[in-house]
Structures are given as C-alpha cells and as structure tokens.
Amino acid sequence: MPIDLENFKSEKTPDLMKQVLKEFLQSHRDKAYLATELFEVMRGRKPESQVDLFEIRGILYALTKERSIVSRFVETKHGFQAYYSFYENIT
C-alpha cells in the first residue's frame, strides 16, 4: 500500500536511528536489550515479522562495528539470544 510523501519524508533516516539507539542504550547502560525490544523503542510497536527486524539489525551491526555498543549471546529459556548494551570497555 503506498504512502504519501509527507509520511515518506518524516521517516527516520538510518543515521538518526543510529543516534537514537545509541543514546537510548547509553541512558540505560545498566541493562542489555534484544533487537525486538530495541525495535519497539524505535517504532513504538512490536515487530510483526523478520522483515521488521532487518533494518534494526543492520543498525545494531553498524553500531557494534564502530564500537558504540556491544553484543553478546546469552543463554535464555528460548536458547541463545543476542543482547545489546552500551559499550563501556566490557570484558
């Protein structure tokens, strides 16, 4: 379904989304989050499919590569899941 140009123009750019996620994780540095939880922070809704998570995972990957955030696989009752946190010389 097409959207109007105002909605298209108002969408957050990847750079803005990177900054928002980085600031969110920095202000919540005592916690680590799943990609699905960070998607909810960015979009205000739960992801409905893997396609929803594609963009957020790309941004999380870029932030991890630039060492702004850190990612770790943690064993949960659902198996190993990737969590993301603000990078502060975590060893």
* CATH number of the CATH domain containing 46: 1.10.10.10
- Indicate whether 5 belongs to any domain: no
**Count of domains forming the chain:** 1
- Indicate whether 79 belongs to any domain: yes
Q: Say which residue the tokens 């993301």 belong to.
A: 84
- Indicate whether 81 belongs to any domain: yes
- Indicate whether 53 belongs to any domain: yes
* Residue 38: domain span: 12-86
- Indicate whether 29 belongs to any domain: yes
Q: In the chain, which stretches have pLDDT less than 50?
A: none
Phi, then psi, of 68 in degrees rounded to 5: -85, -30
**pLDDT for residue 12:** 61
- Indicate whether 31 belongs to any domain: yes
pTM of the predicted model as reported, rounded to 2 decimal places:
0.76
Residues 45-60: tens digit of each pLDDT: 888 888 888 888 999 9
Phi, then psi, of 12 in degrees rounded to 5: -70, 140
**pLDDT for residue 11:** 61
**pLDDT for residue 7:** 66
Q: What is the mean pLDDT of the chain?
A: 86
**pLDDT for residue 80:** 96
